[in-house]
Amino acid sequence: METTEHGSMDLNRRDDFLSSLDKGDDEEKFRSSGEGKRGEERKRSAKISESDEIPDEIDEWKKRLKPALGLDASFDVQVREMTFGERRTAILFFSVFAKDSALTEILKRLTYLQPDNLSHDALEAFFEEYVPAIQIKRSSSFKEMIDEVLMGNTALYVDGVPAVLLIDAKTYPARMPDQPTLEKVVRGSRDGFVETLLMNVALIRRRLRDPKVRFEMMKVGERTQTDVTIGYIEDIADPKLVESVRDKIKAIQVDGIPLADKQLEELTVHKGMSQWSPFPLVRYTERPDVVAAQLLDGSITVIVDTSPSAILLPTTYFDLVQHAEENRQNPFMGTYLRWVRFLGIAASMFLMPIWFLYAQNPELRPPWLWFVGAQKTGQLPMIVQFLIAEIGVDLLRLAAVHTPAPLVTAMTLLSAILIGDIAVKTGLFVNEVILYMSVSAIGMFATPSYELGLANRIVRLVLLLAAWFFQVPGIVIGSTFIVLFLALERSFNAPYLWPFIPFNGKALLSIILRKPMPTNKSRPSINRPQIDDKQPNRS
């Protein structure tokens, strides 16, 4: 009795659903529109090559899927065959991407269909009336179908129709936004980019509710088909810069970019001898608030799927030494923190070479620097001690990266205290070498850009060797060469040392001082913004 009641309830529910699908007087209109759609489908098919057409028989369709997608060979390639309204159908999807709840709901709705509901163009009926999905489109291209399924979408095929419906019912493995490890702030948002492109765009959109914000999607890699997005504000960003970035990405011919944004950078930004430049020509950030602020200044962002960071273009050397923490404090403290950071960066490059020069040539030392120098020389030459210390710091950094998190602190303390202390006591090193190497390492870690910190280490090594070989002329010539090298570098046609070279006093003052928000009215001219004023008068 209970089963009968439930059965009658299900039948009544189905009858109610089917009656809601009955068009009555609109049937003739649907028939004419279906014929029009079939005409459009034939036109679209005429533009598709014969080898790219979707077969109109389901068995032939499944046969082509075996070499094209690995059906029956790869466990995650699934084809679910069902019959709706006496029409044989199949859905193609990857089990690792499929959103079970969405697809189950679609199939549940379709089970109520009767033959009369699909007496005309069945696929068009599915498209316009019966598939409850937000994002759906029709395609007659076999290649497009494969590409969309590889993205995680689902293809709905109806036997006898040389086309499919592509349904966005996917879900990607993703972690929740967390505070970036390289760009921590005391106060401010704790959300950072993740490996899912859609989530990253959403984090930016949340901060920029501007209808002029644009995110253009492209694919890079013949095999990886990696999604790459260019973000900018249409009425602020330089159109020529946007076009340049777009053209460079479209011109990439490569199998794939599985390492995401770093490989994309090498394929677009670094050309010629700049491929061997240690200095980063783009700025990486894991903070959506930094990206939003830079977009308002006229910059362009490039976001690559599977990467938890975004690229900002164009980039200068002075962009890489700024941090979000400075803007989270009041102008006075922000300026103070900025100068402390500048001092640390300068120390990471020049402290060791200058100390080495004075230690080797005491007669060059000014009287007020009486404390600079080495009381002992050690068993190893001073230059060898510095080189070993440099390699030791690099080994310590690499060991910290590859050591399990619970053991990092213990390993660091053991390496710093025991190895350093024993090296000094045995006479291999002098105390001053360990001291100045530690200060230089702290300055390197205080550099906001990890890539720039590594490049500054190369500068330190070059100046150290120059001081050893040529003493004072070596440091002067080495420093001049490095400045000239940086002055000739360009990031998407933007001078790398701007606003120092070419000189722009107003912009340089904005870098030296963290200006209060009311006085910071102009966008950086290096971005060539269409609208220069950041605080326009509104009526």
Give me the number of domains the chain comprises: 3
Q: Which of 456, 496, 462 is closest to 478 using CA atoms? A: 462
Tell whether 142 is covered by a domain: yes
Could you tell me if 520 and 534 are in contact, meaning their C-beta atoms sit under 8 angstroms apart? yes
Residues 110 and 146 in one domain: yes
Residues 310 and 332 in one domain: no
Residues 367 and 333 in one domain: yes
101-124: burial string, b at 16+ Cβ within 10 Å, e else: ebbeebeeebebbeeebbebbbbb
Residues 113 and 212 in one domain: no
Q: Which of 375, 416, 363 is closest to 392 using CA atoms? A: 416
Residue-wise pLDDT tens digits, 230-269: 999 999 999 999 999 999 999 999 999 999 999 999 999 8
* pLDDT by 10s per residue, the chain, length 539: 334 344 444 444 444 433 443 433 433 333 334 444 444 544 454 456 777 899 989 999 999 999 999 999 999 999 999 998 888 999 999 999 998 888 988 888 888 888 777 766 778 888 888 888 888 999 999 999 999 999 999 999 999 889 999 999 988 888 888 888 888 888 888 899 999 999 999 999 999 999 999 999 999 999 999 999 999 999 999 999 999 999 999 999 999 999 999 999 999 987 766 788 899 999 999 999 999 999 999 999 999 999 999 999 999 999 999 998 888 889 999 999 999 999 999 999 999 999 888 888 888 888 887 777 666 666 788 888 888 888 888 887 888 777 777 766 766 666 666 666 777 777 777 888 888 888 888 998 899 999 999 999 999 999 999 999 998 999 999 999 999 999 999 988 899 999 999 999 999 999 999 989 888 889 999 999 999 988 776 54
Residues 356 and 487 in one domain: yes
Secondary structure, 3-state, 117-142 = HHCCCHHHHHHHHHCCCCCEEEECEH
Residue-wise pLDDT tens digits, 95-121: 999 988 889 888 888 888 887 777 667
Sheet holding 300-304, edge to edge: 213-220, 226-233, 300-304, 310-313, 283-285
Residues 285 and 332 in one domain: no
Residues 359 and 473 in one domain: yes
The CA distance from 107 to 98, in Å, is: 13
Residues 394 and 264 in one domain: no
Chain centre distance of CA 191: 15
Residues 471 and 423 in one domain: yes
| Domain span including residue 371 | 328-495
Angstrom distances, CA of residue 460 to CA of 254, 305, 381: 36, 35, 18
Residues 160 and 91 in one domain: yes
- CA atoms lying within 13 Å on the CB side of residue 5: 2
The CA distance from 96 to 147, in Å, is: 16
285, 315, 345 — which closes off a domain?
Answer: 315
Residues 365 and 307 in one domain: no
Tell whether 212 is covered by a domain: yes
Residues 352 and 223 in one domain: no
